[in-house]
């Protein structure tokens, strides 16, 4: 293929750097039952984690004065959890950068859609995370549990069928 052609296609792609998948540092993740509308560093280890207790029916914690109940959820077998971030392209115009940040604070970027070439890398990995519910642990029919059963179902949907 011609190089120029490759390049035009690349404009629409987001590359994931495979080397970052090898052994990123483990991260601890908590899925909260509320929306915190910002993305930024926050002293989780100072306020949240030290207050987690093991009660009679799972983990107990509180956030903004509300009581939370949680439990550890393991990543589906055969999968690895990663936290990925975009690597900033070095030649981004200042204004563009500013606009993007504003957009990011308002709404999630549409799942990885960007109109110029970008790179992502894994910054951390996890094999389980803690899911929290308000006052009680999210039950067996919580949406999240349905989603976690998806990989095994997807495997069946997309497995090759035998030929006649």
> Which residues between 27 and 56 bind another protein (CB under 8 A)?
27-45, 48
Distance CA 87, CA 24 (A): 15
Give the residue, chosen from 80, 89, 92, 116, that forms a contact with another protein under the rule CB under 8 A: 80
The enclosing H or E element of 74 equals: strand 66-74
The least distance separating another protein from the CB of residue 152, rounded to whole angstroms, comes to: 6
**Residues 13, 98, 116, 128: which binds another protein (CB under 8 A)?**
13
Shortest Cβ distance from residue 23 to another protein (Å)?
A: 9
The count of residues interacting with another protein (CB under 8 A) is 88
Q: Which residue, among 131, 7, 4, has the nearest Cα to 70 in the 3D structure?
A: 131
6 binds another protein (CB under 8 A): no
For 24, 44, 46, 63, the CA distances from 134, given in Å and listed in that order, are: 31, 18, 21, 10
Residue 14 in the binding site for another protein (CB under 8 A): yes
């Amino acid at each position: 293929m011609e190089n120029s052609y490759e390049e035009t296609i690349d404009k629409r792609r987001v590359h994931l750097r495979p080397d970052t998948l090898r052994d990123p540092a483990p991260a601890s993740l908590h899925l909260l039952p509320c929306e915190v509308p910002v993305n930024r560093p926050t002293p989780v280890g100072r306020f949240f984690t030290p207050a987690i207790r093991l009660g009679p029916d799972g983990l107990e914690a509180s956030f903004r004065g509300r009581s939370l109940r949680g439990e550890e959820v393991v990543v589906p077998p055969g999968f690895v959890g990663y936290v990925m971030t975009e690597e900033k392209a070095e030649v981004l115009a200042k204004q563009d950068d500013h606009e993007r940040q504003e957009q990011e604070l308002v709404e999630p970027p549409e799942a990885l859609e960007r109109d110029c070439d970008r790179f992502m890398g894994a910054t951390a990995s996890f094999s389980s995370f803690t899911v929290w519910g308000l006052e009680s642990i999210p039950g067996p029919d919580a949406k999240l549990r349905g989603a976690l059963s998806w990989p095994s179902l997807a495997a069946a949907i997309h497995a090759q069928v035998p030929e006649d």
